[in-house]
Structure 1
Amino acid sequence: MEQTTCFHCGDDCNTTIISFDDKNFCCNGCKTVYEIFSENDLTCYYDLQSSPGTIPKEIEGKYDFLSQETIIEKLTEFNDGNTQIATLFIPHIHCSSCIWILENLNKLNPNITSSQVNFGKKTVRVTYKSENCSLKDVVLLLSSIGYEPYISLDDFKTGKQDVNRSLIYKLGIAGFAFGNVMFLSFPEYFEVGEFWLEQYKHLFRWLMFAFSIPVVFYAGSDYFVSAYKGLRSKLLNIDVPIALGITVLFIRSTAEIIFDLGSGFFDSLTGLIFFLLLGKFFQQKTYTFLSFERDYKSYFPIAITKINSVGNETPIQVYDIEKGDRLLIRNEELIPVDGILINGKAKIDYSFVTGESESVGKESGDKLFAGGKQTSGVIEMEALKSVEQSYLTQLWSNDVFSKNKEDGFTTLTNTISKRFTYIVLSIAIIATTFWLFTDASKAMNVFTAVLIIACPCAIALSAPFTFGNLLRIFGKLKFYVKNASVIEQLAGINTIIFDKTGTITSSKSSTANYDGVALTPSEELLLKNTLRGSNHPLSRTLYDILDEHCIITLNHFEEHLGKGIEAKHNNEHIKIGSASFVGAEEPSVLNTTVHISTNNQYKGKYTFYNSYRKGLSKLFNKLKKHFDLVILSGDNEGEFENLKKLLPSKTKLIFNQKPDDKLEYIKYHQTEGAKVLMIGDGLNDAGALAQSNVGIAISENVNVFSPACDAILDATKFNQLYNFIKASKSAITIIKWSFVLSFIYNIIGLYFAVTGQLAPVVAAILMPLSSISIVVFTTITTNIIGRKLSKS
């Protein structure tokens, strides 16, 4: 009887065969999944891997508990009544086809707006419209296509806490088998005579064969799977030569014991896989450590204003927030934790979380979710829990806000690895052909040794470990970089553009004088409360200078980027900002000024005397030797003479620039070949930060979280900017030296392999050692850079 396999899952259909669309399925579940894919034009899923599905389990009624509101609230990380977001742990994620289908869930269910896979953690973050789709619907959909999530009700979490131990199991089996095979090989190593030859030679050889089977087909399976998928995609990845070498060793060794030609190379084979896995285990542990440091110890220097029991406002770091704290959220500020709205009119923009920019109105008593941005004045809220810093990191790295910026050495690494594989295969074939005609007994050894010794793993490891360690070091020094590609971009910049107010000036030590008609007590009260809602550096400075006043709730608040702010309370209306914004004539005296009008009558102006950041002149003199420097300011030219004296002679000083002007200036110079680093305060400069090759936001006790920036620099570390750029350039140098070391190692190794002087097992030991040496080299050298940075 001819055996039929299921088109979807690949299992034997046995007695039950369901035919549909000229294809055979083992059950209605597999057929249903295929129908879903077919109806939504997703049948290319099967092009990525044959029979990729899993037989759906009986799930009817299994997830009814997901209809309970209390459980939904625990399992979702965001739930505003219209949109819900949940991160689900999917144990069955294992390949590119899994990622592809899980990131196209919106085509299976239009109420799912997005789904993002974290392959390393085996999770999928699903955003869906809760009005027409529930968490239960999402879980059932995932289960029906063979990706049933793991949900633990013990701790109400959707992510399994246990680590994936499959590599440890494989390493243990390979090590056990390797040790026993070596033991069984001793009689031949020492050429034991009668006892070995007469009685136990064949038994020992077949035992070695038996030990090698689980090593090859279980412990070494990842290499075969990876090589197979690469070849199906018409790509030669770095696992192809490894899989080929294992196959050759196993087939040749098996043939030798079957035809009694010798004992084979089972010691080399099991040793090869054991040492390969040992190297992979070391790399995984090192990378996990770097990721841990990145996710949980790199706190952003973002502050939030806490209101104590007597009403005083104190800035605190976000990770110091505790449950029950009363927090002040200003206009354009991020809500760092889930909480309850107490005072004020909230209009929350959840685009950081959901990708949708429509603001949502909230009233006193409503729940506010972390990641939302207040867009209409000041509000007060009570925190319901402490900050999850990893959640802020996740928001910052959200693909919705990522900008495709050119890759540097990452692309170079991939290109080298790909070409290297072609070269290795060519060398292996040529060398083997030569030895077949010269000394056939060495041919297979040479072929296997070449494939193993010349693996480009060390090359592929250089960039991720160098940048990963540098990300961790930068974080400890209060320079918080979004990802590794930012460091690559930072190393290649040739132009640096600075905003003025709040960037090269410090709001903490600035002073201001008032010139105009005296404000009435009610106007002073309105002025103070209007400034209270703004995060602009001049607003913050003026707010701190003015006397204390009672707190009132404004009827209306609006901030006009690059112009000013306006507010209403009862019958009074106030405008604060530039002269043109409040309806006054432009001043003849050029100074940094803030003008005020109430009820459309001009009152006067505050003239600011800026305090520049410590070490500014010294920093610019260092930067000028290597970069073109520009000051782009939205203020007037009042500080022109001061800056001209303070900064290097060729620094460009451009004033009266609106946010759009800054963006266009950067865009134009990029077309001229400039690689631009933009440094701003993260508020008015969002467009310029996004347009630049690298955008850095300066943080000074203000919640300036913005997806537009690529890095956040604590204001106290502003004078170290040159050292951070220099360190980024050093990282590129380290990677280049890693490439050189790897090539030297491969050339030497290939020489001994091609000439037949290198046994496969020795090659297997040397290969992971080369990878480990690269990791050690990059870690030590980046740590040296870190020590230099901390001392500077």
Structure 2
Amino acid sequence: MENTDRVCFHCGASCTGTPIVRENRDFCCSGCRTVYDILSENGLEGYYSMDRTPGARPGEVSGKYDFLDNEAIAEKLLEFYEDNIQVVNLRIPGIHCSSCIWVLENLKRLNKGIRYSQVDFPGKELRISYDSRHVSLKEVVWLLGSIGYEPRISLENYEDKPVAENRALLYKLGIAGFAFGNVMLLSFPEYFEMGEFWLEQYKPFFRWLMFALSLPAVFYVAGDYFVSSYRSLRSGLLNIDVPIALGIAVMFLRSTADIVFGYGPGFFDSLTGLIFFMTIGKYLQQRTYASLSFERDYKSYFPIAVTRISGEREEAVQLYDIKKGDRLLIRNEELIPVDCRLIKGNALIDYSFVTGEARPVSRSPGAKLFAGGRQVSGLVEVEAVRSVSQSYLTKLWSSNTFKEKKEERYTNITNTVSRYFTPVVLTVALLSLSYWLWLGKTDTAFNAFTAVLIIACPCALALSAPFALGNLLRIFGRRKFYLKNASVIERLATIDTVIFDKTGTITSAREGSITYEGEPLNRTEEDMLKSTLRNSAHPLSRQLYTILKSNNILTPDEYEECIGKGIEATYREQHIRIGSGAFAGNEDRESSPKTSVHINTNNRYRGKFIFGNRYRQGLSSLFRKLSGKYRLVILSGDNESERKTLEKMLPPGVQMCFNRKPEHKLNYVRQCQQNGARVMMVGDGLNDAGALQQSNAGVVIAEDTNAFSPACDAILDASRFREIHEFLRISKKGMQVVKISFALSFLYNIAGLSFAVTGKLSPVIAAILMPLSSVTIVIFVTLLTNFIGREPNNP
């Protein structure tokens, strides 16, 4: 027996024919029932509590993905595959709500071979890491298809091509404009009461023609509002589309009743005009948002460099200059920027940046190495097998693997206001309707009711924070200050303590004098020294390496870099230790008046290189501008030899802490936070990764190395070091702009509602004012953030 009143518990479709019943729940097909069984058996019933009928009916996937059994094809889709760990990024067009995100990020409960899954909701993409011993790529894709989230797989789609623009909204705009223009034309005789032309026998025909023209506008162009509102109501929530859909529905039903019973021509002109202007507003917002889109690719050009071998010459080049076939040097603790093949050296790669697991894997020459891994055992030479994908490195940097969950205060305010906004608007609209009906003014009542629903849209409120912070991201990027996400700006605005590392942070790794004191090194020892330093990315190592003569380059049999202490390496039977006095075996020599690097060969102390530190240009000026507003600290692993020099250069009150190991730096930051401080840590990312991660905002200074820490929140080009105070000032001003834009949004809505409840504001005018308020807020925050973020004339 057919029963079309019953809907599918999973997808919401009508159960035509005899519905399939399971646990007193109706399903339209065996596919939906199977999905329900899969979710129930794995403890994922919460999928249905987040939204009613959230699912999509699964298609037939049996045999559809057999081509993924071909390893050559599967490898083209994989981002990473190493030691049974494989990572794939799939496009899932069916992602549409929070329920989708929830179930897709819980795939590991459906299949134990899946390690984690992460949804990119705006891009409708799903990143999955899985163990190939327990599940194959084909089985992963089949699982997604079987629960209604079939991925769209096309090998050419995985090439870096521009995404085609979605023109659906443009088509809707054209249809809405056509309907509005013709309905207005047919309404002119009614406006001017043209009795000679508008004879009684033609009125019904033209009124029904206006009704017919309004149908595509109401049910196609405005259909998204009704669908969104229906889903919202089914889930027990009231989103911002509910009042708009209700206003359109009331106007359409009232107008239809008018022509059916002969009361008048209705409000089809206002109705189609309302839909047309709202569609214009939506289109303009979409285009504006897309044009600002926070220039997501700007982070592709963050100032990270890599060493390229050109003949016998080594040169530091920006990542985006690397091409397929280039030979690269990857030093200890440096990031592998591109998929490559190992040519020389034994690689020990930490792929935690990609997989989240810190278990290094060993690789021999000839093996393929993947972008995002970090070399942790000396230097290797590699050959790039493709050009650098900066967007991929950006995605890794922004992934949740190293992202600390920190509060996003203003985003939460927006969500809270939006949640309570709709019930308040509906209450005001119903009170207005009741009041004017009680006075017997039916036309005014419906005008007031509809105008309130349309004009009181929280779009301006919801857009103010994203546009303000997004534009600041873009401005910072242009000034070579690259933030991981917009929430970093909120944290920078609250900073009260700034802690600086010394070597490689406030000193330049490219400048400064170096002198040697001690026994002369023989040719073999010089070769060992140069070759050992070549492996290291530490600022002192890089500075010393550049001044030494290039003799025979040796490959160490053993290499180890002890963080905060030094380096040791073995070449056949020869041994060398480079680092602090204690590490080199002469603790009594640690009291050098200058920053020094000590040398020990074959267990015999030979001497030391003394560094005349060259502090970054503008250091004194920067500290003067920061003092008084922030507590300033220098936290260094070096000895106190530079204390007096720094005391002369820097303003009084700067706290200086020396001889601090990496764990001491971390504990110092944590202690400051326990005392209520909001800390920004500025370092080079090598010996201070823990402190960067612990701080409220961790900033890495990038010069000529890609050894930055994935735990940092921002990367600052060394040439912009002197502008740190400017970035902090702009962040504070930016949050003030957000607050002001919130206040303006509230004023817009209060003024609009005050006028709308009087019944003197027509729905069409309300439809025009609604997007105008959003556009003006966007223009306001964009202009103001551009103003506060402008570069000074004399940097």
The TM-score with structure 2 as length reference comes to: 0.95
Measure how far apart 1:557 and its partner are. Answer: 1.4
Task: Spell out the pairing of 1:392-791 with structure 2 (5 A cutoff).
Answer: 392-438=393-439, 439-586=441-588, 587-789=590-792
Runs of 4+ in 1 over 6 A off after TM superposition: none
d(CA) in 2 for partners of 1:141, 1:158: 27
Which region of structure 1 is more displaced relative to structure 2, 507-516 or 249-258? 249-258
**Deviations along 1:665-687, whole A, 9 cap, x unmatched?**
11111122211111000111111
d(CA) in 1 for partners of 2:32, 2:721: 59
- 2:360 matched to which residue of 1? 359
Instruction: Output the amino acid matched with 1:115.
Output: S
**Deviations along 1:503-533, whole A, 9 cap, x unmatched?**
0000111222222233232222222111111
**Deviations along 1:534-553, whole A, 9 cap, x unmatched?**
11111111111222122222
**Deviations along 1:373-395, whole A, 9 cap, x unmatched?**
11111000001111111111101
Q: Does the 8 A contact of 2:303 with 2:717 survive in 1?
A: yes
Q: Secondary structure at the match of 1:162?
A: coil
Instruction: Output the amino acid matched with 1:468.
Output: G
d(CA) in 1 for partners of 2:17, 2:451: 48
Measure how far apart 1:159 and its partner are. Answer: 9.5
Which region of structure 1 is more displaced relative to structure 2, 664-673 or 199-208? 199-208
Which region of structure 1 is more displaced relative to structure 2, 462-471 or 150-159? 150-159
Q: Secondary structure at the match of 1:148?
A: coil
Q: Secondary structure at the match of 2:55?
A: coil
Task: Spell out the pairing of 1:169-180 with structure 2 (5 A cutoff).
Answer: 169-180=171-182
Which region of structure 1 is more displaced relative to structure 2, 235-244 or 625-634? 235-244
Which region of structure 1 is more displaced relative to structure 2, 184-193 or 692-701? 184-193
Measure how far apart 1:232 and its partner are. Answer: 4.5
Structure 1 residues 486 and 57, CA gap change in structure 2 (3 angstroms): same
Q: Secondary structure at the match of 1:77?
A: strand
d(CA) in 2 for partners of 1:789, 1:203: 67
Q: 2:211 aligns with which of 206, 209, 220?
A: 209
**Deviations along 1:151-171, whole A, 9 cap, x unmatched?**
224455599943333333333
Q: Does the 8 A contact of 1:478 with 1:717 survive in 2?
A: yes
- 1:325 matched to which residue of 2? 326
Q: Does the 8 A contact of 1:328 with 1:380 survive in 2?
A: yes
d(CA) in 1 for partners of 2:362, 2:583: 27
Measure how far apart 1:785 and its partner are. Answer: 3.1
Instruction: Output the amino acid matched with 1:756.
Output: G
Q: Does the 8 A contact of 1:296 with 1:390 survive in 2?
A: no
d(CA) in 2 for partners of 1:678, 1:154: 43
Structure 1 residues 47 and 157, CA gap change in structure 2 (3 angstroms): farther
**Deviations along 1:2-22, whole A, 9 cap, x unmatched?**
415433333344445444334
d(CA) in 2 for partners of 1:112, 1:270: 50
Q: Secondary structure at the match of 1:196?
A: coil
Q: Secondary structure at the match of 2:488?
A: helix
- Pair 1:69-2:59 in alignment: no
Structure 1 residues 308 and 694, CA gap change in structure 2 (3 angstroms): same
d(CA) in 2 for partners of 1:236, 1:59: 36
Q: Does the 8 A contact of 1:631 with 1:652 survive in 2?
A: yes
Q: Does the 8 A contact of 1:491 with 1:725 survive in 2?
A: yes
**Deviations along 1:621-650, whole A, 9 cap, x unmatched?**
011131111111111100000000000111
Q: Secondary structure at the match of 1:608?
A: strand
Q: Secondary structure at the match of 1:695?
A: strand
Which region of structure 1 is more displaced relative to structure 2, 478-487 or 724-733? 724-733
Q: Secondary structure at the match of 2:201?
A: helix
- 1:119 matched to which residue of 2? 121
Q: Secondary structure at the match of 1:251?
A: helix
Q: Secondary structure at the match of 2:583?
A: helix
Instruction: Output the amino acid matched with 2:727.
Output: F
Q: 1:248 aligns with which of 247, 250, 271?
A: 250
Q: Does the 8 A contact of 2:300 with 2:393 survive in 1?
A: no
Q: Does the 8 A contact of 1:296 with 1:389 survive in 2?
A: no
d(CA) in 2 for partners of 1:476, 1:190: 57
Measure how far apart 1:502 and its partner are. Answer: 0.4
Q: Does the 8 A contact of 2:294 with 2:471 survive in 1?
A: no
The TM-score with structure 1 as length reference comes to: 0.96
Q: Does the 8 A contact of 2:448 with 2:759 survive in 1?
A: yes
Count of residue pairs the alignment pairs up = 791
Instruction: Output the amino acid matched with 2:569.
Output: A
Instruction: Output the amino acid matched with 1:649.
Output: P
**Deviations along 1:146-200, whole A, 9 cap, x unmatched?**
1111122445559994333333333333222222222222222222225435122
Q: Secondary structure at the match of 1:580?
A: coil
Is there any run of 5+ residues in structure 2 with no aligned partner, and where? none
**Deviations along 1:224-252, whole A, 9 cap, x unmatched?**
33334444454443223222222322232
d(CA) in 1 for partners of 2:225, 2:50: 18
Which region of structure 1 is more displaced relative to structure 2, 778-787 or 609-618? 778-787
Measure how far apart 1:575 and its partner are. Answer: 1.8
Structure 1 residues 379 and 627, CA gap change in structure 2 (3 angstroms): same
d(CA) in 2 for partners of 1:704, 1:192: 80
Q: Secondary structure at the match of 2:790?
A: helix
Measure how far apart 1:135 and its partner are. Answer: 1.8
Instruction: Output the amino acid matched with 2:135.
Output: C
**RMSD of the alignment, in Å?**
2.1
d(CA) in 2 for partners of 1:295, 1:233: 36
Q: Does the 8 A contact of 1:511 with 1:545 survive in 2?
A: no
Q: Does the 8 A contact of 1:249 with 1:269 survive in 2?
A: yes
d(CA) in 2 for partners of 1:375, 1:313: 21
Q: Secondary structure at the match of 1:288?
A: helix
d(CA) in 2 for partners of 1:589, 1:402: 40
Q: Does the 8 A contact of 1:151 with 1:160 survive in 2?
A: no
- Pair 1:136-2:138 in alignment: yes
Q: Does the 8 A contact of 1:595 with 1:605 survive in 2?
A: yes
- 1:264 matched to which residue of 2? 266
- Pair 1:182-2:184 in alignment: yes
Measure how far apart 1:254 and its partner are. Answer: 2.4
Q: Secondary structure at the match of 2:202?
A: helix
Which region of structure 1 is more displaced relative to structure 2, 771-780 or 251-260? 251-260
d(CA) in 1 for partners of 2:500, 2:160: 44
Q: Secondary structure at the match of 2:561?
A: strand
Q: Does the 8 A contact of 2:77 with 2:155 survive in 1?
A: no
Structure 1 residues 214 and 101, CA gap change in structure 2 (3 angstroms): farther
Instruction: Output the amino acid matched with 1:441.
Output: D
Is there any run of 5+ residues in structure 1 with no aligned partner, and where? none
d(CA) in 2 for partners of 1:12, 1:407: 41
Measure how far apart 1:726 and its partner are. Answer: 1.4
Measure how far apart 1:790 and its partner are. Answer: 7.2
Task: Spell out the pairing of 1:217-256 with structure 2 (5 A cutoff).
Answer: 217-256=219-258
Which region of structure 1 is more displaced relative to structure 2, 726-735 or 459-468? 726-735
Q: Does the 8 A contact of 1:341 with 1:379 survive in 2?
A: yes
Q: 1:33 aligns with which of 17, 32, 35?
A: 35
Q: Does the 8 A contact of 1:450 with 1:753 survive in 2?
A: yes
Measure how far apart 1:260 and its partner are. Answer: 2.2
Q: Give the percent of matched residue pairs that are identical in Structure 1 and Structure 2.
A: 60
